[in-house]
């Protein structure tokens, strides 16, 4: 369990308060979305979890142990991070070296290192780029290289900061499938996103950040069927909107559910 306990934060000496008294637990096996308006502090929360920023007050705990003062390198034993701009985290000359950097730092060498790197590159579907220079590849490919780097470290948690923004439908589908695979492998996925289709269709939990606080923390179906997501600038997923137009207004978490409900309503199949 990874927790933020009464965490408040501002940048610099006297910067404006970004987060106030944040209380959050991230349990094993969850697929958690973190959402909210631009500038609400989503990336800041993930930087606090990974150790790239330290809280102004409050604590970060991992399995009951206070890790607030541990830096990002120390915390990489349990949490991996895919940046909003993945090219900023790539500095090696080949994809293979890039993916191998983390496990090398963890002390892996030789055949053991090669095996974890190959496995991670295959899982993230970047094996064919193994000997290429990461920074000249497309953003989607870089995103999956960053995911491979995180997978190679075998962390319990992985944070992905808006991986699908600006990606086309095909790339989004690949990323969605990859995130589901990670979750099935027992990794807790923390996804910063504005994509409400992914939130409704895939996430087990959604956290909304607004006005420096946690404005909502619950399941996507409660957010979209009982909550007022529009107050926080969030759109309804297409499947949820369309489901509401059917008799009985069923909650449809994805388009497959909508199609099933539509057929039932029409008495087809
Ligand atoms: N390094 C920094 N120094 C000072 N202020 C910062 C810094 N990084 C972010 N901020 C400010 O902190 C606030 C929260 O930023 P953050 O990047 O966490 O928001 P976000 O929810 O991730 O936004 P977006 O949806 O645009 O990615 C914003 O007002 C931003 O301008
Ligand atoms: Mg951000």
Q: What is the DSSP letter of 215?
A: E
Instruction: Choose which residue among 10, 17, 39 to substitute to test ligand 1 binding: the one with the highest number of ligand atoms within 8 A of its C-beta.
Output: 39
pLDDT in tens, 86-105: 888 888 999 999 999 999 99
Confidence at residue 126, expressed as pLDDT on a 0 to 100 scale: 96
Beta carbons of 67 and 32 less than 8 angstroms apart: no
Ligand nearest to the CA of 18: 1
Domain map (residue ranges) of the chain: 1-78+158-166+188-231, 79-154, 237-269
CB atoms within 10 A of CB 49: 26
Residue bearing the CA closest to ligand 1, atom 2 = 11
For residues 67 and 2, what is the distance between their CA atoms, to the nearest angstrom? 10
Mean pLDDT of 56-81: 95
**Å from CA of 230 to ligand 1 middle:** 21
**Å from CA of 207 to ligand 1 middle:** 17
Mean pLDDT of 254-269: 91
Residue bearing the CA closest to ligand 1, atom 4 = 11
pLDDT in tens, 20-62: 999 999 998 899 999 999 999 999 999 999 999 999 999 999 9
**Å from CA of 39 to ligand 1 middle:** 5
For residues 70 and 56, what is the distance between their CA atoms, to the nearest angstrom? 14
Confidence category of residue 185, pLDDT binned at 50, 70, 90: confident
Q: What is the helix, strand, coil percentage profile of the chain, to 5?
A: 40, 20, 35
**Exposed (0-12), middle (13-18) or buried (19+): which is 130, by Cβ within 10 Å?**
middle
Beta carbons of 224 and 30 less than 8 angstroms apart: no
Residue bearing the CA closest to ligand 1, atom 28 = 39
Confidence at residue 167, expressed as pLDDT on a 0 to 100 scale: 86
Residue bearing the CA closest to ligand 1, atom 14 = 41
Confidence category of residue 175, pLDDT binned at 50, 70, 90: very high
Confidence at residue 215, expressed as pLDDT on a 0 to 100 scale: 97
Assess whether pLDDT exceeds 70 at residue 269.
no
Assess whether pLDDT exceeds 80 at residue 227.
yes
Confidence at residue 81, expressed as pLDDT on a 0 to 100 scale: 92
Ligand nearest to the CA of 37: 1
**Å from CA of 161 to ligand 2 middle:** 7
What percent of the chain has a predicted confidence (pLDDT) above 70? 100
**Å from CA of 18 to ligand 1 middle:** 8
What does pLDDT average to over the chain?
94
| Topology of the domain covering 1-78+158-166+188-231 | Rossmann fold (3.40.50)
Assess whether pLDDT exceeds 90 at residue 239.
yes
Assess whether pLDDT exceeds 90 at residue 139.
no
């Amino acid at each position: 369990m990874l927790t933020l306990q009464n965490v408040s934060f501002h940048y610099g000496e006297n910067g404006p308060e970004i987060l106030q008294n944040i209380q959050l637990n991230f349990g094993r096996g969850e697929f958690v979305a973190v959402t909210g308006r631009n500038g609400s502090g989503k990336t800041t929360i993930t930087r606090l979890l990974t150790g790239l920023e330290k809280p102004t007050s409050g604590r970060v705990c991992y399995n009951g142990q206070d890790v607030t003062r541990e830096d990002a390198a120390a915390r990489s034993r349990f949490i991996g991070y895919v940046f909003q701009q993945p090219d900023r985290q790539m500095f090696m000359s080949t994809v293979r070296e890039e993916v191998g950097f983390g496990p090398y730092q963890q002390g892996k060498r030789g055949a053991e290192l090669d095996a974890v790197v190959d496995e991670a590159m295959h899982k993230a579907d970047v094996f064919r780029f193994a000997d290429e220079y990461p920074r000249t590849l497309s953003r989607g490919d870089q995103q999956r290289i960053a995911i491979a780097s995180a997978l190679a470290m075998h962390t319990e948690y992985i944070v992905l900061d808006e991986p699908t923004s600006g990606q086309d439908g095909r790339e989004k589908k690949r990323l969605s499938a990859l995130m589901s695979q990670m979750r099935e492998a027992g990794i807790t996925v923390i996804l910063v996103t504005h994509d409400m289709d992914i939130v409704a269709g895939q996430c087990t939990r959604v956290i909304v950040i607004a006005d420096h606080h946690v404005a909502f923390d619950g399941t996507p179906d409660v957010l979209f069927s009982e909550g007022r997501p529009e107050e926080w600038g969030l759109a309804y997923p297409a499947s949820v909107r369309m489901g509401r137009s059917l008799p009985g207004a069923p909650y449809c978490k994805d388009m497959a559910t909508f199609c099933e409900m539509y057929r039932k309503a029409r008495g087809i199949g």
